[in-house]
Amino acid sequence: MNDVIDFGDPLKHEARLKLWLPIMRELKNMLGRKLKYFTLPGPKAYDVIKWKKEGLLEFDGRGFPEVCFCEMDPNNYINAKRILGNTGGIKGRFENIIQNRRDPRYKAFWELFPYDVYNLDFCGTWFEDEEPLSQTFVSIINLINAHVRCRKFNKFIVFLTIRIDKRRTNKQVIDDLKDNLQDNLSQQIFQGILSIDDLATFIKNRFHAFMLISIPKLLAFKMIPQTRRLSGRITKLTRGYYPRNRYHIGKFVLVIDKERTDLRHNPDWYKQIVRESFELTHIIKIARNTIAEETQRDLQALREEIKRIERYGT
């Protein structure tokens, strides 16, 4: 069973401010308009209300016409709907939305698709099913590919949150990712970027770092096209993490653009992402004893705004 998530936790808010807010501002400025946004917001919809305060999302006085949210817990859905008002929402699983495009229950998502930003904040590890590649991970890749298949699309952002917990991660996934990393480390093109003398010890002692390296590489690899000429490419990667009791939360920001490809097995952008994945010094660590006072003040103001909405409406 997944742990209850506190979306109003200061660690989580620090991640919003450090990892998400700057890149959303950048995309809004580049597009010259407010953003279309899909999210798994939790019961209080902290992210949507924060982006409203920042002027990133369109608000018409009753709701957010270019926002769609998804929540599988009935009580959380009701609470989020109370806060978001006349905003498109789906009570169900993200995976079902992506796998059942023609299902009328998921019309709210597909009517607005494609979005500028996808905030996929999951509770689990992605890789704790019996099958090595879980339906969650497969759905993430399918979503990205569906966006790329649009005839015209702008640069877009995918926020990914994952529980990094060795105890709950499929062993076959760990072994496969280990073999892949070992193969990369043996290739001359990547040698000297990351120094690991004993990979097994590295995984045992720094499992969160191992996953922070491996997940972007795996996502990028799954995006390499096999049959089509137009593909997506990751143009920017940002990562962060913070500790929980006996596990870590990993945060990934992917900026995805399009490119024409000659169907080479390893395009240049993929090699660059592998190199960037190896750069552990570029990962943002968030800890309670380093949370800025500004973050605490901003979070308190956000909590008060949400309480006001709960009491008086949007």
| Residue in this structure with the two tokens 């953003």, named with its chain if needed | 35
Q: What is the pTM of this model?
A: 0.93
Instruction: Look at phi and psi of residue 256 and say left if phi exceeds 0, alpha if psi is from -120 to 50, else beta.
Output: beta
Q: What's the whole-number average pLDDT of the chain? A: 89
Which residues lie below 8 Å from residue 82, measured CB to CB, with a gap of 6+? 310
| The dihedral sign for the CA sequence 291, 292, 294, 296 | positive
Positions in the chain short of pLDDT 70? 1-6, 129-133, 151, 188-193, 226-230, 260-265
> Counting beta carbons within 10 angstroms of the beta carbon of residue 198, is it exposed (0 to 12), middle (13 to 18) or buried (19 or more)?
exposed
Contact 69, 45 (CB under 8 A): yes
Give me the helix-helix angle, 207-223 and 268-278, nearest 10°: 170
Give me the helix-helix angle, 46-53 and 74-84, nearest 10°: 20
CA-to-CA distance for 37 and 64, rounded, in angstroms? 9
| Residue in this structure with the two tokens 């006085």, named with its chain if needed | 61
- The pLDDT value given to residue 187: 76
Tens digit of each residue's pLDDT (9 = 90 or more) over 119-129: 999 877 788 76
Q: Kindly report the number of other CB atoms within 10 A of residue 201's CB atom.
A: 10
- The pLDDT value given to residue 135: 86
CA-to-CA distance for 313 and 291, rounded, in angstroms? 31
| Residue in this structure with the two tokens 């018409």, named with its chain if needed | 60
- The pLDDT value given to residue 193: 67
- The pLDDT value given to residue 1: 38
Tens digit of each residue's pLDDT (9 = 90 or more) over 238-288: 999 999 989 999 999 999 998 766 655 678 888 899 999 988 888 999 999
